[in-house]
């Protein structure tokens, strides 16, 4: 940095009477869009989600086709061509979840959140904007990715593949994108509640991945009344073609996932209004 670079210009005299409008919900969304777009981590993580969803789906489909005859007879009998091509959803949700948490905790970690809330001191428009924008972005990017995974996957599965007109195929493809969208909202909510990156990611994946595993250790009678309602199990019902016994109906399960996200957002709103920044 040379001294000449920082040589300031004389003070610009500006009239004190300049007054204009302040924050609106729409402006909060535009601001969040500028923020989201201007971080390299956003595009890198989204790319990872796309590669996880589409790339992995294609890869799994190709490998499956090559090894189809060597699969156990039991697996061949219950072969799920749709589920096989959409298998990347588990990887995609890692990327979508991490990015959702980071969009919030990145601001807390760097102190940016103070600038954000100084500009929008009512705070809640920031929460709505971040959650809403991220939900839409996730859906808009993950839906084509799911279609690529499905259509490309079926082609790579060759004679073992199916078509979009197969029963539940369209529901599974849309369901994958809808599931990831709501996981994104849940991630943003957890980001606002926990405020730290490591803790936020741990909380999210504890809820999505660890809790169902712990649930399996419960007595069987409890398992049936608890496990289907955990967010990843409930939401997974929407894109699953051959559900485990006890799984909720597809749209019931998705509704339960939405309730989890809504509870998260309400909790985030409450703590956001109460806590110091």
Partner 1 sequence: MIEVSRLTKRYGDKTAVDDLSFTVEPGMVTGFLGPNGAGKSTTMRMIVGLDVPTSGSATVNGRPYAAHRAPLREVGTLLEARAVHTSRSASNHLLALAATHGISKSRVAEVIELVGLRDVAGKRAGGFSLGMGQRLGIASALLGDPATVMLDEPVNGLDPEGIRWVRDLLRGLAAEGRTVFVSSHLMSEMAVTADHLIVVGRGKLLADMSMSEFIDANSSATVRLRTPRAAELRDLLAGDGVTVTGQAADTLEVTGLGAAEIGERALRAGIALHELTPAQASLEEAFMAMTGDSVEYHGATTHEIPATERGAA
Residue 137 as a binder of partner 1 (CB under 8 A): the answer is no
Distance CA 185, CA 8 (A): 43
Residue with tokens 């490591």: 198
- Considering only residues 51, 62, 68, 117, which one is a binding residue for partner 1 as defined by CB under 8 A? 117
Residue 136 as a binder of partner 1 (CB under 8 A): the answer is no
Residue 43 as a binder of partner 1 (CB under 8 A): the answer is no
Diameter of the chain measured on Cα atoms? 81
The answer to whether the beta carbons of residues 260 and 212 sit under 8 Å apart is no
Residue with tokens 């061509």: 81
Residue 31 as a binder of partner 1 (CB under 8 A): the answer is yes
The answer to whether the beta carbons of residues 202 and 190 sit under 8 Å apart is no
Q: Which two tokens stand for residue 223?
A: 């398992």
3 vs 77 by CB, closer to partner 1: 3
Interface size with partner 1, residues (CB under 8 A): 46
The residues in 69-108 that bind partner 1, with binding defined as CB under 8 A, are 106-107
Residue 118 as a binder of partner 1 (CB under 8 A): the answer is yes
DSSP 46-81: HHHHHIIIIIHHHHHHHHHHHTGGGS-HHHHHT--H
65 vs 105 by CB, closer to partner 1: 105
Q: Which two tokens stand for residue 112?
A: 């940016």
Residue 119 as a binder of partner 1 (CB under 8 A): the answer is yes
The region of 20-28, 137-145, 173-181, 194-202 touching partner 1 under the rule CB under 8 A is 20-28
Residues that bind partner 1 (CB under 8 A): 1, 3, 5-9, 11-14, 16, 18-23, 27-28, 30-35, 38-41, 106-107, 110-115, 117-122, 276-277
């Amino acid at each position: 940095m040379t001294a000449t670079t920082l040589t300031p210009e004389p003070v610009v005299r500006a009239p004190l009477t300049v007054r204009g409008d302040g924050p609106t919900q729409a402006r909060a969304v535009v601001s969040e869009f500028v923020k989201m777009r201007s971080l390299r981590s956003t595009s890198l993580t989204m790319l990872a989600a796309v590669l996880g969803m589409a790339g992995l789906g294609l890869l799994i489909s190709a490998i499956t086709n090559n090894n189809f005859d060597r699969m156990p007879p039991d697996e061949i009998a219950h072969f799920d061509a749709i589920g096989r091509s959409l298998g990347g959803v588990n990887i995609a949700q890692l990327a979508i979840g991490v990015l959702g948490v980071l969009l919030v905790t990145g601001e807390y970690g760097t102190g940016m959140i103070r600038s954000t809330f100084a500009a929008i001191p009512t705070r809640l428009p920031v929460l709505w904007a971040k959650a809403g924008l991220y939900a839409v972005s996730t859906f808009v990017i993950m839906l084509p990715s799911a279609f690529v995974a499905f259509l490309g996957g079926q082609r790579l599965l060759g004679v073992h593949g199916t078509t979009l007109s197969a029963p539940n195929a369209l529901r599974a493809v849309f369901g994958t994108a809808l599931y990831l969208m709501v996981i994104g909202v849940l991630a943003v909510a957890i980001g606002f509640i926990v405020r730290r990156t490591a803790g936020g990611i741990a909380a999210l994946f504890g809820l999505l991945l660890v809790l169902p595993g712990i649930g399996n250790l419960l007595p069987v009678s409890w398992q049936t009344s608890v496990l289907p309602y955990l967010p990843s199990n409930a939401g997974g019902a929407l894109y699953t073609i051959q559900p485990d016994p006890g799984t909720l109906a597809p749209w019931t399960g998705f509704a339960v996932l939405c309730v989890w996200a809504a509870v998260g957002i309400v909790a985030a709103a409450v703590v956001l209004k109460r806590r110091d920044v």
